[in-house]
């Protein structure tokens, strides 16, 4: 069994592959690179075959989404690699980034690790999707060490300590292959967005830890598939957040979801006040979809729930918008 497969999911991403795949190939340290093509309609496959003959291709017949695309592709190489590095197509890697990640994940209790993720457009600042490790507040709002909502901090080495976190970013996620398959990978019903948080939560319920290793650094463009103001993205984020809460939340989870839905209502009103009624509709549509999926979500709840790390007992919405705490270091964590 080989040590590592670097796996990129692609959908009509020739432009990103042209920009970012060269750095991945250059810094692969001899490990296999695989591209799972999610039924692309552009000439991504031809470009890869012609330009990077050493990169292996796994072709899916149609676009089944980020989550299921990885599931289907990784099933085809099950048992061949000890680890998977799941890498977004819009990530630039740096020399030596793999070694610290592989060293960190060697611990028997560690299931997954992410590097420090900085912005490709401003390499002095943390990037939205992961920064220096992910956390979750009491109402299920995700945030990062280095990023709260849209406030991304400047990287000054303040979060360079490797620590256990609640979730690791799917933009660059190193995970033990046996554990990925043990928990049945990503939840394909998510399609895209927050599937990595759900995966990490399920791994923690199994007794494993998730870590960030900031001595490894990559640079993420972000918004490579869907823009941050995309109606589809708003729908998926609101729906999938409720999905993962129903599947994984402990205690009186029904009450916690009800409170979260009230917060969603406030967000919908904000969209309306900002002149974006279409986004209000996406929140409503997300709630309707959640109710329709509730029986399935309840059936997926784990019977045994271990204590999780990286859960913030405060309310990040109140902290950020009312108390003006816009840095991770402002929180009592």
Q: Is residue 187 part of a domain?
A: yes
Total-model pTM: 0.97
Given a cut of 90, whether residue 251 has pLDDT beyond it is yes
Q: Is residue 46 part of a domain?
A: yes
| Other residues' Cβ atoms within 10 Å of the Cβ of residue 228 | 11
What is the secondary structure of 184-206 as a DSSP string?
A: TSS-GGG-SSSHHHHHHHHHHHT
The pLDDT of residue 167 is 98
Q: Quick one: average pLDDT of 125-130?
A: 97
Q: Quick one: average pLDDT of 58-75?
A: 97
Q: Is residue 244 part of a domain?
A: no
Say what percent of the chain tops pLDDT 90.
95
Given a cut of 80, whether residue 265 has pLDDT beyond it is yes
The pLDDT of residue 226 is 58
Alpha helices in the chain (DSSP H): 14-26, 44-51, 65-75, 98-105, 177-182, 195-205, 231-248, 253-273, 277-299, 316-321
Q: Quick one: average pLDDT of 138-163?
A: 98
| Length, in residues, of the chain | 333
pLDDT tier, 303 (very low <50, low <70, confident <90, very high otherwise): confident
Q: Is residue 125 part of a domain?
A: yes
The pLDDT of residue 305 is 83
Residue 226 neighbours by CB under 8 Å, 6+ apart: 192, 232, 233
59 pairs with which residues across the strands? 37
Contact 177, 82 (CB under 8 A): yes
Q: Is residue 332 part of a domain?
A: no
Contact 37, 59 (CB under 8 A): yes
Given a cut of 90, whether residue 66 has pLDDT beyond it is yes
Q: Quick one: average pLDDT of 272-289?
A: 97
Q: Is residue 264 part of a domain?
A: no
Q: What sign does the dihedral 5-90-105-203 (CA atoms) show?
A: negative
pLDDT tier, 16 (very low <50, low <70, confident <90, very high otherwise): very high
State both tokens at 81.
């690699």
Q: Quick one: average pLDDT of 144-160?
A: 97
Given a cut of 80, whether residue 318 has pLDDT beyond it is yes
Which residue, among 251, 252, 285, 256, has the nearest Cα to 271 in the 3D structure? 285
State both tokens at 221.
């463009």
The pLDDT of residue 96 is 98
Burial of 158 (0-12, 13-18, 19+ CB in 10 A): middle
The pLDDT of residue 154 is 98
Given a cut of 80, whether residue 5 has pLDDT beyond it is yes
The pLDDT of residue 228 is 62
175-187 confidence digits (pLDDT tens): 999 999 999 999 9
93 pairs with which residues across the strands? 218
Residue span of the structural domain in which 208 resides: 2-220
Q: Is residue 138 part of a domain?
A: yes
Contact 63, 38 (CB under 8 A): yes
Given a cut of 90, whether residue 229 has pLDDT beyond it is no
Number of domains in the chain: 1
The pLDDT of residue 222 is 87
Q: What CA–CA distance (Å, rounded) separates 200 from 206?
A: 10
Q: Quick one: average pLDDT of 227-256?
A: 93
Here the CATH number for the domain that contains residue 55 is: 3.90.550.10
Q: Quick one: average pLDDT of 66-81?
A: 98
What 8-state DSSP symbol labels residue 329?
G
The pLDDT of residue 225 is 54
Q: Is residue 247 part of a domain?
A: no
The pLDDT of residue 227 is 60
Say what percent of the chain tops pLDDT 70.
98
Which residue, among 90, 253, 289, has the nearest Cα to 171 in the 3D structure? 90
State both tokens at 146.
């280095």
Task: Share the mean pLDDT of the chain.
Answer: 96
State both tokens at 322.
């009312």
Given a cut of 70, whether residue 224 has pLDDT beyond it is no
pLDDT tier, 333 (very low <50, low <70, confident <90, very high otherwise): confident
What 8-state DSSP symbol labels residue 106?
T
Given a cut of 70, whether residue 254 has pLDDT beyond it is yes
């Amino acid at each position: 069994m080989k040590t590592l497969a670097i796996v990129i999911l692609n959908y009509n991403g020739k432009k990103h592959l042209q920009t970012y795949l060269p750095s991945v190939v250059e810094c692969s340290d001899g490990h296999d690179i695989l591209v799972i093509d999610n039924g692309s309609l552009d000439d991504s496959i031809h470009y890869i075959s012609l330009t990077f003959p050493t990169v292996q291709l796994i072709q899916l017949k149609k676009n089944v989404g980020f989550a299921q695309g990885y599931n289907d592709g990784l099933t085809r190489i099950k048992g061949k690699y000890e680890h998977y590095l799941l890498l977004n197509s819009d990530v630039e890697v740096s020399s030596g980034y793999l070694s610290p990640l592989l060293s960190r994940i060697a611990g028997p209790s560690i299931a997954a690790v992410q590097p420090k993720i900085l912005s490709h457009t401003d390499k002095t600042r943390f990037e939205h999707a992961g920064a220096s490790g992910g956390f979750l507040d009491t109402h299920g709002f995700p945030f990062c060490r280095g990023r709260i909502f849209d406030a991304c901090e400047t990287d000054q080495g303040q979060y360079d300590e490797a620590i256990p976190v609640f979730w690791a970013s799917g933009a660059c996620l190193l995970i033990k292959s046996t554990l990925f398959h043990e928990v049945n990978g990503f939840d394909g019903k998510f399609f895209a967005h927050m599937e990595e948080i759900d995966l990490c939560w399920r791994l923690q319920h199994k007794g494993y830890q998730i870590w960030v290793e900031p001595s490894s650094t990559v640079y993420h463009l972000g918004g490579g598939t869907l823009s941050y103001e995309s109606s589809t993205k708003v729908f998926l984020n609101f729906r999938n957040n409720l999905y993962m809460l129903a599947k994984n939340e402990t205690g009186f989870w029904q009450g916690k979801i009800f409170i979260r839905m009230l917060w969603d209502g406030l967000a919908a009103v904000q969209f309306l006040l900002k002149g974006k009624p279409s986004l209000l509709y996406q929140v409503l549509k997300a709630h309707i979809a959640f109710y329709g999926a509730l029986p399935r979500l309840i059936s997926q709840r784990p019977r045994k729930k271990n204590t999780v790390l990286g859960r913030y007992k405060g309310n990040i919405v109140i902290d950020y918008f009312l108390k003006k705490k816009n840095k991770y270091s402002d929180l009592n964590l």
